[in-house]
Amino acid sequence: MARFLYIFPHPDDESFGPAAGMHAQLREGHEVFLLTLTRGGATKMRFSLNKTVEEMGLIRLKELEAVRDYLQLTGLTVLDLEDGGLREMDPRELEWIIREQIEQIQPNIVVTYPVHGISGHHDHLVCHAVVKRLYVELLEIHTYLQRLAFFTLPDLEETPTQGGMVRVNRSRKAFIDCVLTLTPANEKALVDCLNCYPTYRQVIEETGVAHKAWETLHFELFGEDYKPPITSLTENLPR
């Protein structure tokens, strides 16, 4: 069995797709850890709720902990770095913080955002760059590291939502190396995890993510190329 570490900047990043994969991997007997770099308190939703960044961060932390409890994650670590401020950090400091978590958990498979960050949020872009550079360095030191995967969306022009059309960054078919087929139970788990974020209900509805037919999840694999794509993140581990 493998040990996974998902690394994302904000609460809810894990529930906009990856939660279905986490659910599948946990039910297969794998260990699944989640590292979230911020509490997500700077979300614009705080204005409609009349909350400060600190107050909103505590609310979103509780929502993320509900996801942890629902999925029965092997472990959850939530840091309190500045939401929206990762681009202002010394990347070496951020690398060191993440390195401590990786060396403590010792994952076989690390999962984070692709180079385009899907939404294009600067925290997503920084997370990708820092995790990738750190992974390359640690790969020369730690034999437990076997794969770096990037959760992504397949290349389509637009995604319909109730509010019109929402544009997101996607990966070309040629870049996708793993396509995970989901069961109805995995899809239900994704929706249930989204429902753990009542303060984000407006965003969830606007994106249409809870109403999408999540039949598959897509991943790019760093330094690997599979045509056709493999069907599991634990398939053909390079070492």
Residue 112 DSSP code? E
Q: Mention every residue, 6+ apart, whose C-beta is less than 8 A from residue 221.
A: 147, 148, 149, 150, 177, 178
CB 69 within 8 A of CB 26: no
Q: Are strands 178-181 and 109-112 parallel, antiparallel or unpaired?
A: unpaired
The CATH topology of domain 3-221 is Rossmann fold (3.40.50)
Average pLDDT rounded to a whole number, residues 153-171: 66
pLDDT in tens, 12-23: 999 999 999 999
Domain range summary for the chain, segments of one domain joined by +: 3-221
pTM of the model: 0.95
Q: Which pLDDT does position 162 carry in this prediction?
A: 39
pLDDT tens column, 193-209:
999 999 988 888 888 89
